[in-house]
Amino acid sequence: MTERFTPTPEDKFSFGLWTVGWQGRDPFGDATRAAIDPVESVQRLAELGAWGVTFHDDDLIPFGAPETEREAIVKRFRQAVDASGLVVPMVTTNLFTHPVFKDGG
């Protein structure tokens, strides 16, 4: 890629964990790719010149994770974000995958 088109943090590109970590799953089959650790995604995005990372709650923390696991995941992710210089401009909830939301979120 020429330097002119190489993204920089000043361009403020942010990427969703669900896009960079997509496992190639569709309605007719299981995942075709291994999961990517969110911390690895943060590090790689920073190397590529991204400005930020966004995610759904369950992109980072599995539904039903105990409090101690949630805290450990958030701490590790926060350390990676801080070390990389990325920002988190948006976090949202997944209201469309878990069966509890089958009648709407």
Model confidence pLDDT, tens digit, residues 42-93: 999 999 989 999 999 999 999 999 999 999 999 999 999 999 999 999 999 9
Domain boundaries along the sequence of the chain = 12-20+34-101
What is the reported pTM? 0.85
> Which pLDDT belongs to residue 103?
84
For the annotated catalytic residues, the residue numbers are 56, 59
Question: Are residues 33 and 23 in contact, defined by beta-carbon separation less than 8 angstroms?
Answer: yes
In the predicted model, is pLDDT for residue 7 greater than 60?
yes
Name the CATH topology of 12-20+34-101. Answer: Rossmann fold (3.40.50)
The C-alpha atoms of residue 78 and residue 84 are separated, in whole angstroms, by 10
Cα 47 to chain centroid distance, Å, stands at: 15
Question: Are residues 53 and 25 in contact, defined by beta-carbon separation less than 8 angstroms?
Answer: no
